Amino acid sequence: MRPRHHPVFSSSATGLLVTCLVELAIFTTIFSLACLASRPSREDLLLIWRPGWWVIPLGIGYSLLIRIAAGVAIVIIVVALIGTHAVTADSAQKFITTKRPDVGKLIDVAAMRHNPTYYWLTVTMVSFVVAGLREEMWRAGTLAGLRALWPRSFGSVRGQLMAVALISILFGAAHQPLGRVGIVVAGLLGLFLGVIMVLHRSIWPAVIAHGVLDATTFALLPFALEKLQHFH
């Protein structure tokens, strides 16, 4: 009998909520202990709300730009590969349908289709709190740690951008359940979000951008995967 593979965030609304709370509790504990040990300021952790009321529209705008940039990059790469005969149109199509990030290992797409509570928990709590807020606080904390340990290397804006690039590698690797393509996509996403954070000296535009990006992805996911099954 083949073992059943359960998604990381459970297949039931109750399980999803419990998993989110556990993930947040673990992160909060570790993050709090790290803060007690290093005593960073709100400025160090980029927790200042900048740039005022622009945070939300900027976050939404950045999420749209990231999605457009990703789509354009994929089209350019596929067209270039087909144009140079590195791959055929059929093989490119097969790659798109078979090597896309395996989001089914994270959430239950069938549950999103049939369980409204599960759907809205994914679009709100998973997207904005577990992913958006938690992951951007982790990114800001890691960046603050690198600045504190090696101020000459990572204290300047250029150095912080270099640190963001290093952090994005770890961020991508943490998304191993999504497969190799998912790791690359997550790493690039982490790079974009880290750059936003450094440029605005605040996590909040990146939090909003991350949350909106994940929320819109999850919201459209059941429909998109259903269409991809008929993509021949």
pLDDT digits (tens, 9 = 90+) for 63-121: 999 888 877 776 776 666 666 655 555 665 555 555 555 666 778 888 888 899 999 99
In the predicted structure, residue 1 carries a pLDDT above the cut 50: no
- pLDDT at residue 171, as a whole number: 86
Distances (CA, A) of 42 to 39, 45, 112: 10, 5, 37
Contact 167, 142 (CB under 8 A): yes
Residue 52, judged by CB atoms within 10 A of its CB (0-12, 13-18, 19+), counts as exposed
Q: How many CA atoms lie within 13 A of 67 on its CB side?
A: 15
- pLDDT at residue 89, as a whole number: 58
Say if residue 51 is preceded by a cis peptide, omega within 30 of 0.
Answer: yes
**62 or 81: whose pLDDT is higher?**
62
Q: Which amino acid is at 92?
A: A
- pLDDT at residue 3, as a whole number: 45
Treating both helix axes as pointing N-terminal to C-terminal, what angle do 134-149 and 179-200 enclose, rounded to 10 degrees? Answer: 70
3: tokens are 């073992």
What is the band of 178 on the pLDDT scale with cuts at 50, 70, 90? low
Contact 176, 183 (CB under 8 A): yes
Closest CA to 19 of 157, 205, 27: 27
pTM: 0.84
What does the pLDDT look like over 2-43, one tens digit per residue? 444 577 777 899 999 999 999 999 999 999 999 998 899 999
Q: Where are the alpha helices (DSSP H) in the chain?
A: 13-38, 55-83, 89-98, 109-114, 116-121, 134-149, 151-154, 157-173, 179-200, 204-228
Write the CB contacts of 99 (distance below 8 Å, at least 6 apart in sequence): 179, 180, 181
173: tokens are 């690797």
CA separation for the pair 33, 163 (Å, rounded): 22
Percent pLDDT > 90 in the chain is 56
CA separation for the pair 37, 73 (Å, rounded): 42
- pLDDT at residue 186, as a whole number: 83
What is the band of 204 on the pLDDT scale with cuts at 50, 70, 90? very high
Q: Which amino acid is at 179?
A: G
In the predicted structure, residue 145 carries a pLDDT above the cut 80: yes
- pLDDT at residue 74, as a whole number: 67
- pLDDT at residue 40, as a whole number: 92
- Mean of the per-residue pLDDT values for the chain? 84
CA separation for the pair 24, 227 (Å, rounded): 34
In the predicted structure, residue 125 carries a pLDDT above the cut 90: yes
Once rounded to an integer, what is the mean pLDDT over residues 157-170? 92
CA separation for the pair 48, 31 (Å, rounded): 18
